[in-house]
Structure 1
Amino acid sequence: MSVNKVILIGNVGKDPDIRYLDNNVCVASFTLATTERGYTTASGAQIPDRTEWHNIVLWRGLAEIAEKYVRKGSPLYIEGKIRTRSWDDKSGVRRYTTEIYADNMELLGRKSDMTATPTVNPTHQMQPQQTQPENNPFGGNNSSDDLPF
């Protein structure tokens, strides 16, 4: 048995590059930065922040969501798998890149940044994250100040 699963929470490094293939399939690619915070050791040595850059690839519905909502600086939650591919450049040198093919994405930005923060599940259906008012049998809103007793 083997598992290829990646979970990242970070900030988008550039606006997504969006392409539509011949069969009208949407593909989005962008970078995502994750940062380990620096610290000071017991001996007083300063260890700086360490930022890793990840190449993210989204397909179909996820790519279309990214086209609408993802911008440089957006905080994102990404789940996916690692893929490495290679190609020969113009001078014949073999090049490699490692990418994260996302299966799931969640926008983590503030509601003020957009009207609703969509969550995208593995079936690529957009579900706005909005708090729905609970049914209150006593009427009014649900704040604790409005309790009937």
Structure 2
Amino acid sequence: MSDHITLVGNVVGDPEERATRGGDPIAAFRLAVSERRFDRERGQWVDGHTNYYAVSVFGELGRNTLASLHKGERVIVAGRLRLREWETDVKRGVSADVAADAIGHDLRWGASTFRRTARSAAAADADSSNSSANDIAPGGDAWAVPGEAPADPRDDGATVAVAAAHESPALVEVGDTTPF
């Protein structure tokens, strides 16, 4: 059994690349989550107890994690929590492991830049086998609006024509912006 959990904390060390038995990549890192509270008597913020989580990230998300995260960065991790009991000759304990479903930088502490990665041919083939030809808009993008595909607004100097749902069409100039 696993529980869904969202954690906000600091990456303890640079993510390490590991592999499954089948050779698929895994990114693994430890996450420190500290309680921080305001002490009214002292009039200042104080750190409380710190919990440590072992985070495993699989597949394409794992590859992106290896390229994006570094020691000390503040991140938000959403995934499945699994408590694992362990024992050695000297002691025994419980480890909190998280299989991540989503990871992102905590933007309260800094700015981040998003860069879309190229999809692998295997991922594209898997997606196309799971959907019918009627589900995919012209241009091959399953998320595109049917009709003519607009220019990528992230390209320098791109102009995207937007047909308003009302009577007259309008042109909207889009500069160097990210749609997210």
Relative to the length of structure 1, the TM-score reads: 0.63
Give yes or no for contact 2:2–2:81 (8 Å, CA) kept in 1.
no
Distance 1:40 1:94 in 2: 34
1:36 is the counterpart of 2:74: no
Q: What residue number does 2:133 align with?
A: none
Structure-to-structure mapping, 1:1-149, within 5 angstroms: 4-41=3-40, 43-44=41-42, 48-50=46-48, 51-89=50-88, 91=89, 93-108=91-106, 110-111=111-112, 116=114, 135=160, 137=170
Relative to the length of structure 2, the TM-score reads: 0.54
> Alpha carbons of 1:33 and 1:87: their partners in 2 closer, same or farther (altered >3 Å)?
closer
Tell me the matched-pair count.
127
Deviation for aligned residue 1:87: 3.5
Structure 2, unmatched stretches of 5+, are 117-122, 124-152, 162-169, 176-180
> Alpha carbons of 1:66 and 1:97: their partners in 2 closer, same or farther (altered >3 Å)?
same
Which structure has greater strand proportion? 1
Structure 1, unmatched stretches of 5+, are 119-123, 125-130, 143-149
Structure number with greater CO (CA < 8 Å, separation at least 6) is 1
Write the letter of the residue equivalent to 1:77: I
Deviation for aligned residue 1:110: 2.1
Which digits, 9 at most, give the CA deviation of each residue in 1:38-95, with x for residues without a partner?
A: 3132x44766212433221212222211111111122222111210123443x27544
Deviation for aligned residue 1:28: 1.9
Distance 2:39 2:62 in 1: 40
Distance 1:140 1:82 in 2: 45
Moved more, 62-71 or 51-60: 51-60
Identical counterparts, % of pairs:
22
Larger radius of gyration: 2
Give yes or no for contact 1:107–1:117 (8 Å, CA) kept in 2.
no
Give the root-mean-square deviation of aligned CA atoms: 3.5
